[in-house]
């Protein structure tokens, strides 16, 4: 019976974690470049159940021989193994703001490959993002909405000297002073190695864009979140129902245990 407690409780915990991931997706449904998290669940290792006992041998001395009958296997529950971001392309919408940039990704050499803007976090470390909701700070540098420097191909902050600049489809920023600055577009061949850090930043290993990778940088556009709000709401309802089901199972086990303790002992 105690195994039933653990199984029901693990089901409740896994659905709670799944619900948290789905709620975070809904909260970021309108965040540019946000990549939805998908919770992956895994069952605990199965246990073998054996019936242990003894068998009396009809001899003069009445020997008892231990027996061990195989009954089968049982699973003790499920848990959320990890949450994996979905890196599919979000919808591209026009904003007409010159500081808004979107990566429109075409064919890339690797099935799990993807392109990112390169930025610098508060600690001076290189991070990657698909959120092109940029602006120009008071010193004339191109920064993210959180104030992180957007980097060029050489890894340096981009000085635009104002809002008057254009970005070519291949990712070159041309300032009013005639400077041509290649944006720091990075490529990873396996997005599943990237780790979310918050503020639309990803941490991982990325390098130069392969020559056969196809992409376009669109100025005055933003890549929207790839969260499917309708599907996410449906998944939240399913997770809530599964949580309630495990809760009822747990309550039934608790009532049975209560009867075993308070009533069965008084019989006879």
Residues 160 and 204 grouped into a single domain = yes
Residues 115 and 7 grouped into a single domain = no
Residues 57 and 149 grouped into a single domain = no
Could you tell me the pTM of the whole model? 0.77
What's the confidence (pLDDT) of residue 30? 92
Radius of gyration of the chain (CA): 29
Which is higher by pLDDT, 258 or 243? 243
The reply to whether 123 falls in a domain is yes
The reply to whether 229 falls in a domain is no
- Contacts for 17 with CB less than 8 Å, ≥ 6 apart: 39, 80
Residues 159 and 252 grouped into a single domain = no
Residues 69 and 139 grouped into a single domain = no
Residues 141 and 168 grouped into a single domain = yes
Structural domain total, the chain: 2
Place of tokens 């390098």: 207
The reply to whether 105 falls in a domain is yes
Residues 215 and 253 grouped into a single domain = no
Please give the structure tokens belonging to residue 38: 């998908």
Residues 177 and 56 grouped into a single domain = no
Place of tokens 């933003």: 222
Domain of 102, in residue numbers: 91-223
Residues 97 and 79 grouped into a single domain = no
Residues 128 and 251 grouped into a single domain = no
Residues 248 and 204 grouped into a single domain = no
> 124-172: per-residue pLDDT in tens?
999 999 999 999 999 999 999 999 999 999 999 999 988 889 999 999 9
């Amino acid at each position: 019976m105690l195994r039933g407690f653990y199984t029901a409780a693990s089901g409740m915990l896994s659905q709670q974690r799944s619900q948290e991931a789905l709620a975070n997706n809904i909260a970021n449904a309108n965040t540019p470049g946000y990549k939805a998290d998908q919770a992956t669940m895994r069952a605990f290792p199965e246990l073998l159940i054996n019936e242990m006992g003894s068998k009396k041998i009809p001899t003069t001395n009445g020997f008892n021989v231990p027996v061990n009958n195989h009954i089968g296997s049982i699973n003790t529950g499920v848990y959320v193994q990890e949450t994996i971001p979905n890196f599919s392309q979000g919808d591209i919408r026009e904003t007409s703001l010159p500081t808004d940039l979107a990566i429109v990704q075409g064919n890339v050499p690797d099935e799990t490959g993807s392109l990112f803007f390169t930025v610098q976090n508060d600690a001076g470390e290189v991070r990657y993002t698909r959120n092109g909701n940029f602006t120009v700070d008071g010193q004339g540098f191109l920064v993210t909405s959180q104030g992180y420097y957007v980097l060029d191909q050489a890894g340096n902050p981009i000085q635009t000297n104002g809002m008057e600049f254009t970005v070519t489809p291949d990712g070159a920023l041309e300032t009013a002073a005639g400077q041509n600055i290649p944006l720091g577009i990075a490529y990873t061949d396996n997005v599943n190695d990237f780790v979310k850090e918050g503020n639309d930043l990803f941490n991982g290993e990325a390098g130069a864009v392969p020559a056969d990778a196809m992409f376009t940088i669109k100025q005055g556009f933003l890549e929207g979140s790839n969260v499917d709000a309708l599907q996410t709401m449906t998944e939240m309802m399913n997770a809530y129902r599964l949580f309630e089901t495990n809760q009822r199972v747990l309550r039934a086990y608790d009532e049975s245990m209560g009867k075993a303790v308070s009533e069965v002992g008084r019989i006879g």
